[in-house]
């Protein structure tokens, strides 16, 4: 006989780990106990040596589907005489290694009960078990116990409590466990107050007659309407002031998307995954006609499947309430627009009273429930990238707050992220916890949301930072907050250059500690020289970087206004080769064109930029694709969409030059576009020539510095054509490409890079 203590770290709370261990210990004839604590879970086991070894092997091989085991520590103990049975003890506080799992979609076992008329949870919108349901969005602190979640307000009925206490039941210690008798309930409101009748049935009726309904999900409210109703979609856009930005679609199953979007095996796996993200799928030729206004002028449709029982009930109601689950394998006609419910630019709404305040300006009705959302969390957005891996455009529900493993540990760093698409990052040992998407920090409410997210993540992880990291730009709110926190907490702070952080984020998730070349390609970031960088060739070695080269600069007429008015960048390009005289005639619809041409011609002091994002804008405007943009990167997305449909030329001409100072000049390419060609042909040519130019640029530097790996990051790498084209072009030159996989390539992953740089700066 022997006795030992096992400490298991990872995602082992709220995922059915204790009942799994209980059953496993019984099968291995072991006595002892297990409990949640600040380390994760701790257990003591006593039995034969072979049985203990078998337990340890099976612990890893047979863990619950939502669990993640990062470390198992085994320590021998003195044998206890007379030890019998196995118990699950009350949770203990303390420690600093516990983690909470992300929210997960409702599992098949719960769905089978949801659609079984004989089951006591038939059509209950909050059905869940230890294998599914909310986690991160309802927990306030660890250990993960019901009393520390928003379910604390709901006392379990005797039937639910019996399941909750039964170690052999799949709802054993399922903290959100509930039923119609004791759990949360639904309510539908319109401008006249509560709506009588079945809330789900009434909601579906309203959606089918063209109304817009705010629907409460796991991490916030969605605005929903019938995606096939063009007038309803147009009205939603008008109310939300979202003129052209693509809207996400929810379908009952992949079969319901047939004919509208292309589904690969990998993209369908992503759609069906427990995380249930929005997945960008290539649109078919009929998509825009069938879903008018959903995703105009782009090549991709953002689609997701239901992930809460309530979502499934909406489709179930529309299908006529069939018994069983067979209907879920059949195409369903109902498709719903599901976009975040918030006033333009504000954070996602989470409170019922705030959702009702949307009536009638944004929504015609509100479908709410009385389970509080503790943590706001937007849907994640992914696409299938090179070689079939998932590429994040936005990291949120389903993936937050799962840790990203680092190559080494060190004191904790709190990194405050970027100004746009903000996220923050908190490190703990050799793990980095990237927050959910917070948004652009040009609104006070988003700034407050950043502060709240920083405090909540520290509380949840029981970790306080030793260092602060923020962007180099002193006027970003995230930078100001970083400096204020550092001063208040008396901590050292580090300002990290924007493009250094982009490359560092890739090295962090790839656990790469070697020096690499970096192609940092985005819209804008403050450079060390005070300039507006955005097309940078860097040599990155831990906390240090060297700017080896950059794109030839263009004037930035109007500063930030140029990003909203791409014609300005086209004017700057025309000016760069002396065609000021044609600017006004080229853009007759722009009243400021003549004045801008004169201003450029007079050579007045002007900001210049090396931004690749602004070159995309210039190309789109020169081709007549987009002279103005209603949302960030719209011109680039239109350019990408046309090129995707057209296909790239196999052997593009060389339309770039690299001078002795390692400046990459793409003006020959822009000049070719300005000479006139079909927009689709020009979009394809631009992408093909750009890819070859960037690969030549990197290869030349690689030979000079003896490096073989190129990390490619920044918002421009969220362009699928550019990402896969660079991967192939660098490969043809004998170089390997590192790119973002676990975090967005754009500003949504910047905090991870800031934290990684700060770790190495303060703890070399």
Cα distance between residue 381 and residue 399, in whole Å: 11
User: Of 263, 352, 310, which is closest to residue 105 (Cα–Cα)?
Assistant: 310
Q: Are 649 and 725 a contacting pair, CB within 8 Å?
A: no
Q: What are phi and psi of 47, to 5 degrees?
A: 170, -165
- Which residues are known catalytic residues? 18, 36
HSE-CB for 71 with a 13 A CA cutoff: 13
Cα distance between residue 286 and residue 292, in whole Å: 10
Handedness of CA 217, 218, 222, 228 (dihedral sign): negative
CB atoms within 10 A of CB 697: 24
Q: Are 55 and 106 a contacting pair, CB within 8 Å?
A: no
CB atoms within 10 A of CB 309: 24
Token pair for residue 678? 């079909």
Diameter over CA atoms, the chain: 96
Give me the residues paired with residue 404 across strands.
432
> Could you please report the per-residue DSSP string of 327-355?
GGGS--S-EEEEEE-SSTTSPPP-SHHHH
- Residues 6+ positions from 188 with CB-CB distance below 8 Å: 194, 195, 199, 202, 203, 365, 366, 367, 368
CB atoms within 10 A of CB 592: 17
8-state DSSP, 27: H
Give me the residues paired with residue 216 across strands.
221
- Parallel, antiparallel, or unpaired for β 425-428 and 413-415? antiparallel
Burial class (CB in 10 A: 0-12, 13-18, 19+), 153: exposed
CA 92 to chain centre: 32
Q: Are 551 and 610 a contacting pair, CB within 8 Å?
A: yes
Token pair for residue 30? 């072991």
Q: Are 228 and 336 a contacting pair, CB within 8 Å?
A: no
Q: Are 569 and 558 a contacting pair, CB within 8 Å?
A: no
User: Of 159, 196, 154, 194, which is closest to residue 175 (Cα–Cα)?
Assistant: 154
- Parallel, antiparallel, or unpaired for β 663-665 and 608-609? unpaired
Q: Are 295 and 339 a contacting pair, CB within 8 Å?
A: no
Cα distance between residue 279 and residue 665, in whole Å: 35
Cis peptide upstream of residue 611 (ω within 30 degrees of 0): no
CA 240 to chain centre: 22
8-state DSSP, 85: S
Cα distance between residue 694 and residue 592, in whole Å: 33
| Per-state percent for the chain, helix, strand, coil, to nearest 5 | 35, 25, 40
Cα distance between residue 617 and residue 505, in whole Å: 26
User: Of 535, 553, 577, which is closest to residue 675 (Cα–Cα)?
Assistant: 577
Angle at 689 between CA 686 and CA 692, to 5 degrees: 145
Burial class (CB in 10 A: 0-12, 13-18, 19+), 585: exposed
């Amino acid at each position: 006989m022997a006795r030992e203590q096992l400490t298991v770290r990872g995602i082992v709370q709220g995922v059915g780990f204790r009942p799994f261990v209980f059953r496993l210990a019984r099968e291995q004839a072991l006595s002892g106990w297990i409990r949640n604590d600040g380390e994760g879970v701790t257990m003591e086991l006593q039995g034969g040596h072979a049985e203990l070894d078998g337990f340890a092997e099976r612990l890893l091989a047979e863990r619950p589907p939502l669990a993640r085991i990062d470390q198992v520590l085994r320590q021998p103990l003195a044998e206890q005489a007379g030890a019998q049975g196995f118990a699950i003890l009350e949770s203990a506080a303390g420690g600093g290694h516990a983690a909470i799992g992300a929210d997960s979609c409702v599992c098949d076992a719960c769905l089978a009960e949801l659609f079984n008329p004989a089951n006591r949870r038939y059509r209950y919108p909050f059905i869940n078990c230890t294998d599914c349901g909310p986690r991160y969005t309802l927990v306030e602190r660890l250990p993960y116990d019901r009393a520390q979640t928003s379910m604390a307000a709901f006392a379990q009925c005797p039937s639910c409590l019996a399941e909750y206490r039964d170690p052999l039941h799949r709802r054993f210690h399922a903290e959100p466990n509930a039923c119609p008798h004791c759990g949360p309930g639904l309510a539908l409101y319109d401008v006249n107050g509560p709506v009588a009748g079945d809330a789900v049935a009434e909601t579906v009726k309203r959606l089918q007659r063209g109304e817009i309904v705010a629907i409460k999900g796991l991490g916030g409210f969605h605005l929903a309407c019938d995606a096939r109703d063009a007038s309803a979609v147009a009205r939603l856009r008008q109310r939300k002031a979202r003129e052209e930005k693509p809207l996400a679609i929810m379908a009952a199953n992949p079969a319901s998307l047939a004919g509208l979007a292309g589904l690969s095996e990998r993209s369908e796996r992503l759609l069906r995954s427990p995380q249930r993200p929005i997945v960008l799928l290539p649109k078919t030729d009929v998509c825009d006609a069938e879903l008018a206004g959903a995703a105009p002028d782009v090549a991709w449709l953002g689609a997701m499947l239901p992930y809460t029982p309530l979502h499934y009930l909406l489709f179930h109601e529309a299908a006529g309430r069939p018994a069983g689950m067979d209907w879920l394998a059949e195409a369903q006609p109902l498709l719903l627009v599901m976009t975040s419910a918030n006033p333009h630019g504000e954070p996602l709404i989470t409170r019922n009273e705030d959702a009702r305040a949307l009536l009638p300006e944004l929504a015609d009705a509100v479908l709410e429930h009385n389970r509080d959302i503790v943590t706001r969390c937007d849907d994640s957005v992914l696409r299938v990238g090179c070689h079939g891996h998932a590429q994040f455009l936005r990291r949120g529900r389903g993936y937050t707050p799962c840790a990203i493993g680092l190559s080494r540990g060190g004191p904790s760093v709190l990194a405050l992220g970027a100004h746009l698409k903000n996220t923050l990052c908190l490190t703990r040992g050799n793990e980095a916890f990237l927050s959910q998407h917070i948004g652009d920090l040009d609104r006070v409410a988003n700034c407050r949301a950043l502060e709240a997210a920083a405090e909540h993540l520290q509380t949840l992880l029981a970790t306080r930072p030793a260092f602060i990291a923020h962007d180099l730009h002193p006027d970003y709110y995230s930078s100001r907050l970083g400096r204020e926190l550092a001063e208040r907490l008396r901590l050292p702070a580090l300002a990290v250059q924007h493009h250094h952080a982009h490359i560092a984020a890739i090295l962090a998730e790839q656990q790469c500690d070697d020096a690499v070349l970096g192609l940092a390609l985005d819209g804008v970031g403050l450079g060390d020289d005070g300039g507006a960088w955005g097309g940078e060739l860097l040599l990155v070695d831990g906390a240090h970087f060297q700017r080896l080269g950059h794109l030839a600069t263009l004037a930035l007429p109007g500063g930030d206004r140029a990003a909203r008015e791409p014609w300005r960048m086209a004017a700057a390009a025309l000016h760069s080769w002396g065609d000021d005289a044609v600017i006004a005639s080229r853009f007759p619809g722009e009243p400021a064109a003549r004045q801008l041409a004169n201003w450029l011609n007079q050579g007045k002091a002007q900001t210049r930029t090396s931004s690749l994002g602004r070159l995309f804008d210039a190309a789109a405007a020169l081709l007549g694709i987009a002279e103005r943009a209603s949302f960030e990167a719209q011109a680039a997305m239109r350019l990408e969409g046309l090129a995707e449909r057209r296909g790239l030329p196999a052997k593009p001409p060389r339309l770039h030059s690299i001078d002795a100072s390692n400046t990459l000049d793409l003006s020959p390419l822009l000049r070719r576009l300005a000479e006139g060609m079909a927009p689709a042909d020009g979009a394809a040519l631009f992408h093909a020539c750009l890819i070859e130019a960037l690969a030549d640029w990197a290869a030349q530097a690689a030979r000079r510095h003896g490096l073989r790996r190129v990390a490619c990051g920044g918002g421009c790498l969220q362009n699928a054509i550019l990402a896969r084209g660079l991967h192939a072009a660098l490969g043809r030159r004998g170089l390997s490409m590192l790119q973002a996989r676990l975090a967005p390539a754009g500003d949504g992953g910047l905090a991870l890079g800031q934290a990684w740089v700060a770790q190495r700066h303060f703890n070399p």
